[in-house]
Structure formats: C-alpha cells, structure tokens
Amino acid sequence: MREQPKISVRNLYKIFGANPPAMLAKVRGGMGKAELLAQHSHVIGLQDINIDMHRGDITVIMGLSGSGKSTLIRHLNGLIKPTAGEILLDGANVVGYAGARLRELRRFRMSMVFQNFALMPHMRVHENVELAQRVRGDKGTDAGKNALTWLDRLGLKGFEKHYPHQLSGGMQQRVGIARALASNSDVMLMDEAFSALDPLIRTDMQNLLLDLQKDLEKTIVFITHDLDESLRIADHLVILKDGIVVQQGAPQEIILNPADAYIRRFVNDINRARVLRAESVMVPGVIVELRTSGNVDVDDNLESLIARAEGDATRSFVVLRHGAPAGTVRMQDVFRALVPPNSGQRPLTADAQSAPVREERAS
C-alpha cells in the first residue's frame, strides 16, 4: 500500500467570469464549456480534477492549448484560487491560504521553474540562485555556499559572476533549476520549463532532470504540451482536454490502453519501439518450459529487444528487475505491441486542430 500522496487534488473546479459561484451548479449539472460561454459569458478552466501526486514522483500534466494545464499548476501554489475543491499538501488543505501561511508555502514548501527562465537581469548568476533563500531570511553566507554547491552540481561552476544575458538559453534554465533546488523545497513546479529551448538542449535538460531526480527524489509537477517529453520523464501522466482529465496513469499503460479516440490520436503518432519498455509487454514470472535467448532489463525499450532478437519473432527473454527475474517477454508480444489500436485513424496533429493549437505547438 502506497503512502499518503504528497499532493492530492480533489474535485477541483475553476470557472472564469463575473460570477463563478453562480455558474458552478450549472457546470456540475452537465453544462458544457461552449454552452456556458455562449449563454453566460463564463469560461470553464478546470472541471472536477482529481489527481494524486506521490512523493518522489514526476507527475506530468500535458495537453494542447487551452486544456487547463498551466491553470492547474498555478492552483498548487496559490497563484490562482479555485471556484471549488481541495488541494491537499501532506494531508492539509492549502486552498484558502493567505498572508503569512501562503508566503511560507511559497518560500519553504514549493519552488517554481518558469518557461522564460524568469531570472533577474541586473543580478549575477550566483545572486539569482541565492534570491529565494535571501527573501525568506536565510543568512547570506549560508545562501551563498548553498548557491555555489548547486551551480557546481548543474555544471555552472565558473559562471557565478556572469549576468543572465551572457549565458545561453540552456545555461539560463540551469540557473533557474539551481535556484529552485537551492530553496530545498519539498515540491518543485515546472511550467513548460524546457519549451523555449532548442531540441538538443531540451534533451540535455531532460537528462539532467532525470539524473538529479535519482538522487533527490523530489516531488515534481511538470507541465508540457510535448508528448515525447511527457513519456520520457513521467512517472505519472495526466492528459487534459478542455479542463477535464481525459486519462491518467503510468505512461506505458496509457500507450497500450488509450481511454478514448482522443488519446488514441495522441499515441498513434509516437515511435512505440523507442517508448515502450520490456516491463510493459512481459508476462510476470519466469516460464520454465520456455526456451529463452538471454536476459533483458525491465527498462530496456522494445527497439533494443528487437535488435537483441535480430528480428526473430520466435525468441523470448527473461526480464530482470534489479538483477532478479521478474517476468518473461516473447518477441511475438513485442511486435504486437508496436501496432497501435485503431492504427488506421488519423494522427492528432496541429493541422487537425484549431488555431490556438498551432500557436502552442510552434512555441
């Protein structure tokens, strides 16, 4: 049985307009987004959101433009107040926090990394990293030492005295991550943190985040509109559409068992051989009578299994977890998993969506 979630979002609603409380009953009664806008000039931002985010996991919230993902993350640290619902942090409802309690939440419990870096241009790198600590009252010497430690950890040693404009985009985002980590908060919120970076730098930043997470085991909430990024870093993936959770769960499970046509259109367009892993298609336990061709790891992707089997669909492998047998994978199941459900359906692309989708995909 898993421990209490670090963050629980319960029955969360956000309605934008002149009188959101009056609209809540209409939305709960089944009135949709288009109807509410047309008849009452109110907009549904989030509708009945329920998500558990566990300690040490990376929870990725993804969706296209207007899905509500950035609205959701801003509820967690009180930047936006909900129309209804609860946000539990270690079991305590933080909705309604104000004044000193809200400042404490933002200074000590949650840090944030922004898409546009949000560095102070007139401050040197080390001053930017120290900022959160100094604002909350830490001693200057302690803040300085801690900042240098994190700058070294993120590969920025020697750039302490530089100004942000003297750094590349990837280096600036490393400074933003160092600042968030230096605050030593329980939770790190990352809102489209890598979206402004070039593809190669973006991949490097994803690798950096995963490497750091192995040691730090932070509770990370990561917002993105990029499915490949989601599948690469998520422990728990939540897909939003029009302010509603369409599907959530382990990324591998979502790929193999999409909940509806909308999710199928997302996952049909990915390279399944590179994303799916041995654990997703294995049969638990070792089948003694089955003749196997060696061992593979639970985290090996299907592409590597195909290479090991030399394309032979008759082969099988023992799947190891932490060096111990966990299951058996048959290559016929590997090849079957490469075929998306309803694979003849048109993939979800920017061209098939509205103008706002095209704008976000280009960002």
Q: Predicted confidence band at 55 (pLDDT cuts at 50, 70, 90)?
A: very high
Same domain, 115 and 228: yes
352 inside domain: no
363 inside domain: no
Same domain, 302 and 190: no
Given a cut of 70, whether residue 354 has pLDDT beyond it is: no
Q: Which residue has the tokens 């288009």?
A: 34
Given a cut of 60, whether residue 124 has pLDDT beyond it is: yes
Given a cut of 70, whether residue 347 has pLDDT beyond it is: no
Same domain, 214 and 302: no
231 inside domain: yes
Q: Select from 267, 295, 314 the last residue of a domain.
A: 267
pTM of the predicted model as reported, rounded to 2 decimal places: 0.84
Q: Predicted confidence band at 286 (pLDDT cuts at 50, 70, 90)?
A: confident
Q: Select from 234, 267, 300 the last residue of a domain.
A: 267
5 inside domain: no
Same domain, 110 and 249: yes
> Are 221 and 52 in contact, with CB atoms under 8 Å apart?
no
27 inside domain: no
Q: Which helix (H) or strand (E) covers residue 307, if one does? A: helix 302-309
Same domain, 219 and 303: no
236 inside domain: yes
Same domain, 332 and 257: no
User: Bigger pLDDT: 238 or 134?
Assistant: 238
Same domain, 79 and 170: yes
Q: Predicted confidence band at 2 (pLDDT cuts at 50, 70, 90)?
A: low
CATH of the domain at 101: 3.40.50.300
Same domain, 99 and 236: yes
> Are 321 and 353 in contact, with CB atoms under 8 Å apart?
no
Same domain, 247 and 198: yes
Same domain, 286 and 190: no
Q: How far apart are CA 168 and CA 150, in angstroms?
A: 18
349 inside domain: no
Output the pLDDT for position 342: 64
Same domain, 240 and 120: yes
Strands 187-191 and 7-16: unpaired
Torsion of CA 264, 265, 267, 269, to 10 degrees: 140
- Exposure b/e, 119-129, CB count within 10 A at least 16 = b: beeeebbbbbb
CATH of the domain at 288: 3.10.580.10
Same domain, 185 and 308: no
Closest residue by Cα to residue 277 from 251, 314, 248: 251
Q: Select from 267, 299, 317 the last residue of a domain.
A: 267
User: Bigger pLDDT: 138 or 30?
Assistant: 30
223 inside domain: yes
> Are 353 and 63 in contact, with CB atoms under 8 Å apart?
no
Mean pLDDT of the chain: 88
Between 266-270, 300-304, 316-320, the lowest mean confidence (pLDDT) is in 266-270
In the chain, the number of structural domains is 2
Q: Which domain does 120 fall in, by range?
A: 53-267
**Residues 72, 74, 77, CA angle at the centre, nearest 5°?**
120
